[in-house]
Amino acid sequence: MGEATARPLRADAERSVRVILEAAERVLAADPGASLEQVAAAAGVARTTVHRRFASRQALVEALASSAARRLADAVDDGRPDTAPPLVAMHRITANVLQVKGAWAFALEQAAEPSGEAADLQREVDRRCVTVLERARDEGLIDAAADLDWVRRVYYALLGETLRGDPAGDPDVLAARVVDTLLRGAGPRP
């Protein structure tokens, strides 16, 4: 609705948008209350340029959220959630998502209003996530009586905790720990 007449930007303008969004993620992740001045400085751009590309602070944050949500959705799709064997898909999706969420933590935390593009994409991600869990359950990897919505939320929480504590570990190792913990917990191994 809002960007109906979005005529194409010139190459340098498009580059400005990109560097501003990247800088905004870095700066706002460190301090959510940081000023647009700081964002502009981190982007190597004048503050007025930020205002030229994004009508308001809110518009910038929304664009940031949408951008990150697209990357996240792509990361999930790349794991073939509908066709790959569940365990393979879970591992691959987890490794992908860890990288995207690590690089776009602030953007993905912004709760977009339910009508926005970011919220749509997030719902789609949730849907695909549950799909994988259902397929895992059908294969006996997850208890038949388990509440899949709770399992999904636990999965998200494990991702978040991994990123909080292990900012730059090997994605495959971290993903293996997440999946293992999700499926088997901390209890004794037979």
**Interface contacts to a copy of itself, rule CB under 8 A:** 32-33, 140-146, 150-151, 153-154, 156-158, 160-161, 164-165, 177, 181-189
Residue number, 19 or 87, with CB nearest to a copy of itself: 87
Check binding of 28 to DNA (CB under 7 A): no
Q: Which listed residue (5, 58, 83, 115) binds DNA by CB under 7 A?
A: 58
In sequence order, what DSSP letters do the residues of 26-70 get, joined into one string?
HHHHH-TT--HHHHHHHHTS-HHHHHHHSSSHHHHHHHHHHHHHH
Contact 99, 171 (CB under 8 A): yes
55 binding partner (options DNA, a copy of itself, none; Cβ < 5 to 8 Å by kind): DNA
90 vs 16: CA distance, rounded Å: 36
Contact 110, 65 (CB under 8 A): yes
Check binding of 18 to DNA (CB under 7 A): no
Instruction: By CB under 7 A, name the binding residues for DNA.
Output: 9-13, 15-16, 35-38, 44-49, 51-53, 55-58
